[in-house]
Chains A and B, each alone.
Chain A
Amino acid sequence: MEVPILKQGLYLIASIQSALTDADLSALREALIERVGKYRARGVIVDVTALDVMDSFAVRTLRDIAHMARLRGAETVIVGIQPEVAFAMVQLGLTLKGVSTALDLEEGLAFLDRQGRERLDRVQGRGTRGGTTRG
């Protein structure tokens, strides 16, 4: 099953609709990395609200997406991980280290906007703003 990827401004939004096979996940990774360059995207959101389980392959693919996208100039945020899924993930030992997460699409967009502003500040040498930052 192919995952639809929407382009919204500088961001790409991949919204997973149903359970994915390993092949589907790999296809998603390739499609996203290709489009980051094509659309010169600055941010990627992967919405996993519809996933009722995430195993090591899914988590590794998401982590790879984030790392590869960063190499191509886009920040990735994973949104919509369900409470039960999160708990099962940490019990499995999968914590998505180094990958940003947010509650839902709205929060993910806000996160990317904030990241974008901070990057702009850094580039323009305005120094750090007050307000919130999360590692």
Chain B
Amino acid sequence: MGAPPVAEELLVAITSDVDVVSARQKGRELAAEAGFSSGDQTVIAAAISEIARNILMYAKRGEIALRIVMNGDLDGLIVVARDQGPGIPDVTRALQDGYSTSGGLGLGLPGARRLMDDFDVVSIPGKGTTVTMKKWRRRHAS
């Protein structure tokens, strides 16, 4: 992909459960601005909530970056979650339903992946994890 026009990036630091709420609220607002339907806004907010909580649970702190991109006749919302935590030893397994090392529902990553259109995890044990996820919507032809 070339360099599509990029709007400014919204950065939310994740250090406590209050930040999880504010990250998903900011995501919803941005999605509304980009013209996503209220159904999609909810889906995006839920996905952000899941990965933000993952940061909190496994890495204690990190950040979530949100931005809107345009690609041809598509508008997209990109969410990047970064942390310098312990990393995920087996990403493939972490993306399977029901896999959890925290005693949770194990829905964090696989759930968020189901909600979004594109989903990518890069994790280096001992260095940290970056989750990039995108939701697209077709711009209405006039």
* Chain A interface (Cβ < 8 Å from any Cβ of B): 19-23, 52-57, 59-60, 82, 84-85, 87-89, 91-94
Q: Which residue of A lies closest to B100 (CB)?
A: A56
Q: Which residues of A contact B24 (CB under 8 A)?
A: 53, 55
The 7 A-B residue pairs with the shortest CB-CB distance, nearest first, are: A55-B49, A84-B42, A22-B17, A21-B17, A53-B45, A92-B111, A56-B107
Q: Are B20 and A88 in contact (CB under 8 A)?
A: no
Is B107 a contact partner of A52 (Cβ separation < 8 A)? no
What number of residue pairs across chains A and B have CB atoms under 8 A from each other?
73
Which residues of B pack against A, CB within 8 Å?
Answer: 17-18, 20-21, 24-25, 28, 38-39, 41-43, 45-46, 49-50, 53, 97, 104-105, 107-108, 110-112, 114-115
Name the distance in Å between A3's Cβ and chain B's nearest Cβ. Answer: 14
Main secondary structure of the interface of B (DSSP, over half): helix
13 new A-B contacts at CB < 8 Å, known A60-B104, A92-B112: A21-B20, A21-B21, A52-B42, A53-B42, A55-B50, A56-B108, A57-B104, A87-B42, A88-B115, A91-B115, A92-B114, A92-B115, A94-B107
Chain B neighbourhood of A89, CB < 8 A: 46
From A19, A20, A56, contact of B104 by CB (8 A): A56
Contact B25 A19 (CB under 8 A): yes
Given contacts A53-B24, A94-B107, contact A22 B53 (CB under 8 A): yes
